[in-house]
Structures are given as C-alpha cells and as structure tokens.
Structure 1
C-alpha cells in the first residue's frame, strides 16, 4: 500500500510539471497560423515537393517569395550596360549621314513636302478594275467631293461604262463591290434599272461579305497614292485633284486617271433625284449579296449568285 501511494504521489507531481511546461511553451511561443505541428509539416512537405529540384532555382524562388511577403528587403537589380567609346558613336553617326547610305532631303524640300502634305484640301478616290476577254483596265477617279455618296458613285460608273463601250461585243456587265449601303445599296438598286435600260445591256451586281471587300481595287488605289507621294518627296506639288492626276500620269501610263468634277456630280444629282423618289425599301438588304436587273423596273435579289431562292422587287 505504501508503494502504491508513493507511486500515485510521484505521478501526480509529474503530471503537474508536464502541464506547467506545456503552459509555458504556449505562452513563450509566437502565434502560428497552423493549428498543429502536423498541419504545418504537411504544408511544408507539399510546398517543398512543388519547388524545382535544382538548389539554385529553389533559392531564387524562395528569395522572391520572401521579398514579396516582406520577410527580407527587396534586392535592387544592378543594370549592366555596355559603354561605347565616343569615337565609335561618332563614326556610326557619320556613316549613316553619307549620301550613298541614307538619302537626305534638303531642308527646303522637306518644308515643301510637309506643306504640300498638310496644307491641301482632302479629296476622295474611286477605284475600279475592268476584266474582259480582250484586255483589262484600271481606273482611279479622284474627286474633291469627299461624301462619296450615290451621286459620286453614279458619276464614276458613267466614266467606267463609257470606257466599256469602246470594248467590242460586250453583252453583260457583272459588277463586284463591298456592301456599303450609302454607296452601292438602297437607292443604288433603283439606279441599276436605269443604267441597264439606257445602256441596253444585262447588268448584275455582286456584294462581298461585310468587312471582307479587299480586292484588286484597293491595291490600285494604294499604288497610285504611293506613286504620287514619291513624286511629292522629290519636289512635286499636289494641291488639287488635277495635280494628283498630273503627278500620277508622270509615274504610270497603265492606269486610267480621270477627275470626277463637280459638274458631273451635279448632273447625276439632277437626273437621279426624281428617280430615287420611286425607290422601294428592300427587306434583308444586308443579307442580299446578289442583284440582277430583270426588266426595266424589276430586280431579282438573292442571298448569293447561285442561290435558287430569290426575291423580286418591282418599282
């Protein structure tokens, strides 16, 4: 009995010491985000498994994380640049100043170029390309009218169609363009019937998909503008549509250049205003990509040229 009582007393003392040590451990230990040491060990093991095996890469990543979370001050990147000698810099600069390396425009030519570029009135350009069995023709028709509306389009078509009359044995004209409604749709549909009647020819019009109308006519316009700009750079003056045509003709003879004058546009406006009053709205205009003149006042509309379904509009 004495030994049992002694054992119980000593065990009680040990338990008290253990509780006190455990209490002191929690008091002196800084607070942790982990509830237990086991959860901390699991997180550490998982993080360590995700780190690269290379010790150098591990060090870089850990250092970056420590800097990100403010455990250590961020290191300043030391930029290293190659210092070139002043003589080498001057030699390179003088090399590119040579006339056989870089062409230098004289100052008075530069001022003239800048003035000609900015101090002019804007104008528009109507471009067209004609395919035929015999030969092909390119058209660039500048105009001081920047509205580029249906009357300008009619004036441009008149110039192109007049040239087509010089081509022998033309029985049908099939036009392709983008789907700009203000230029080639709506009221323009009514104008197609008039053109087919006056020219006594089969006429149809195909439209590209919306925003996909890039074709050879865009290249023709870009080519002519580049040629005119190159002429301006060497002293040419371009202040009007006439100057534009003059400079372009000096650079190329393969493109037909004719100005659409104000008189041409006014004449088209006078002729078409009454005709457009009889025009009708066409349903699903945006979806229609093929139009064909059937009769004097009748048009066939199709979703595309080979579509079997069609809608007929009679004016």
Structure 2
C-alpha cells in the first residue's frame, strides 16, 4: 500500500509503546518500585514526494498515562497537523493501528473518523491489524527511544525525572526522530469533547469483526470486515462510493424514541454491544480468554464505556502446569468483557518463597475443558 500511495495521500502507522520508567544512575529497589512513568506513542508518517516514498518518525510524549480514545484523538489532531507540513494538499489519511477496544477500536474513534473531514479538511480511512500480528516499525522506534534514554541516564548525560525532562532530552538527541509533547491541558480538552460526544453516538453493531472504516463521497460512514485499498475502492480523490467490494453503511448517531429511552439503552447494550453479564471489579482474579486460550489474571483497570478490562496475567508453571506464578516481565493486556469467563478466589501462595500459587481443581478443569 505504501508503494502505491498517491502523492496527495498520507499513511500513518502508530501504536502505544509500553510506558517508559524513569531511571537513576544508582537505582535502589525503592526507586524502582516508586518510579514514575511517561507515555510514549511512536508514529510513522509515510508520503510520496517527487514519486519517491518518504517517511518521518515521530514519538508523542506525555505525562498523561491514559491510553484511551481521548489520548488517541489528541494524538491524531497533532499527527494531521504535522502531516500537512509534508503534504499540504493531503486529501486522505490512512491510519494503521492495532485493534484494542480501549484505544483505537471503539465508537469514539469511529466518531472521529465520521467527523474527520469537517475537522481536518481531508478524509480518514482506518485499517486495523488483527491481534497477534507481530512486531511493527513502531515497536522499533519506541524501543530505540527508550534504549537511548536509558543509555543517556546511565552515562550521566541526562537526568530524567518526569515527562518534561524526557521531552527536553529527546529534543536534543540526534536520532532522527521528531518528538512532540502532549500536555495534561491538551488531553483534558479533548477528553471533555469526547465525553460530550459519547452521549450522542452509539456503538456499531458487529464491531468485533470490523477491520476497515471510512466515509464515502457523501460523508456516509462505511465499514468492512477486512481492509481493502484496491483501485475499485480508492483513487486520488479518496474512497469510491460505487466500489463493488462489499462496504456496509453505518449509522453512528443515536436516534432514540424519547418515550422509550430506557428500553433503547437496554437494547443497545444487549444487541449492539454484545456484552456479557459478568460482574467483576478492580483487583478481582479472573479466568480470561486470550488468543483462544484460558489464563488466570488480576483485573487492574476497567473501561465500562467500551466493555473492556485490563488484566495482569499469570503464567502456568510446575511439571503438571497446575501451579501459577507471576512472570518476570509483566504481561498486561486489555481484553473484551466477553472474554472474562469467571471470577475466582485469589490464588493461594505455596512453598517457602510464596512465589508459586494454586487454584481450586474445578478452575483447572474448567480451563482444560474450554473450547472456543
């Protein structure tokens, strides 16, 4: 797709990196456990100049640790402004991202796409990678940024204690990456707008199978279960509404019957969101499905609006894989509410070190019997 990119189109690939932990030259244990963090969002902008493919690497830095639709909206606003510096006449922006529902794959981002032309003067087409697609160029940009920061601190060339320190160091580094700071105020302004719009829009039925979304020549939101950028779908002027490739129209704005408001909300939740009725809370231990397999983990955060939960997963251990332990590297993943199978009691610590845990046999049996 990059090679066939028209000169008035821009392709943007982006992703959240794992938050950067500040370090000190002589870090002690208490400093490690009480370390502050900074959000890093690597972004690569591809475009054509004189028929040659060019790219710019960006990293958005922020003290705001929320990886949600409000942060995505804030970053997108800045990405488009920067992209227009390289392609002033841009007509279409193609976004490629992962598909976590708490970040890029939700009704607020779909609304952003729906309003994109009115807001930015060009159209947006959002492509979603399937989960588990592997590493991308953004992982390389984010990893290089964090590695360079760590080396600068260890060599005494930088003191990084907060997001502003990180940004100041990054802007002086000679790594070919352009850095941009997202402030708390900028985030909160976008967050207020997002929350206001949430009351006006509804989730899209079948979101779980949606992997491409854009608007046609009439501003109508359309979606597809697989992405497509063939010549029948796109030309230099953007999306062709007469494409034979099977695009479905989407209605995003709510039009409820005011006399049946409560019933509308119930129907929307049950029919369009396809939610489960599980009841779990922060710090609960659960059995969850990820990549068609069952795991045990602890809920560290919930997003009720998108029906997703952030789970800190354990790994199975022992000869018979009947024990569990926390991995050396945290394995935290956002999963859909429908993927929480059950809430369980807190695993019981065993052994002298208390680093191995057991769960009741019925939990193990249920995990073994699970079939997606």
Give the TM-score taking structure 1 as reference length: 0.61
Alignment of 1:2-13 (within 5 A): none
> What SS does the corresponding residue of 2:48 show, helix, strand or coil?
coil
Residues 178/117 of structure 1: CA separation in 2 closer, same or farther (3 Å cut) = same
Matching of residue 177 in structure 1 with residue 119 in structure 2: no
Residues 110/126 of structure 1: CA separation in 2 closer, same or farther (3 Å cut) = closer
| Alignment correspondent of 2:125 | 204
Cα distance in 2 between the residues matched to 1:276 and 1:295:
25
| 8 Å Cα contact 1:193/1:295 also seen in 2 | no
Matching of residue 132 in structure 1 with residue 47 in structure 2: yes
Residues 276/190 of structure 1: CA separation in 2 closer, same or farther (3 Å cut) = same
CA RMSD, Structure 1 to Structure 2 (Å): 2.2
Of residues 61, 69, 72, the one that matches 1:142 is 61
| Alignment correspondent of 2:355 | none
Matching of residue 279 in structure 1 with residue 219 in structure 2: no
Structure scoring higher RCO (CA < 8 A, sep ≥ 6) equals 1
Greater strand proportion: 2
Of residues 148, 159, 170, the one that matches 1:227 is 148
Residues 231/238 of structure 1: CA separation in 2 closer, same or farther (3 Å cut) = same
Give 1:260 deviation, angstroms.
Answer: 0.9
Alignment of 1:57-96 (within 5 A): none
Which has the higher mean CA deviation after the structures are superposed, 294-303 or 269-278? 294-303
Give the TM-score taking structure 2 as reference length: 0.52
| 8 Å Cα contact 1:126/1:141 also seen in 2 | yes
| 8 Å Cα contact 1:206/1:289 also seen in 2 | yes
Structure 1 residue runs of 4+, over 4 Å off? 112-119
Q: Which runs of 5+ in 2 are unaligned?
A: 1-23, 229-243, 254-372
1:195-248 Cα shifts (integer Å, max 9, x gaps): 222112121000001121531111110010000000010112111111112222
Q: How many residues get paired?
A: 207
Matching of residue 193 in structure 1 with residue 114 in structure 2: yes
Of residues 159, 166, 185, the one that matches 2:78 is 159
Q: Which runs of 5+ in 1 are unaligned?
A: 1-108
Residues 245/273 of structure 1: CA separation in 2 closer, same or farther (3 Å cut) = same
Structure having the higher Rg: 1
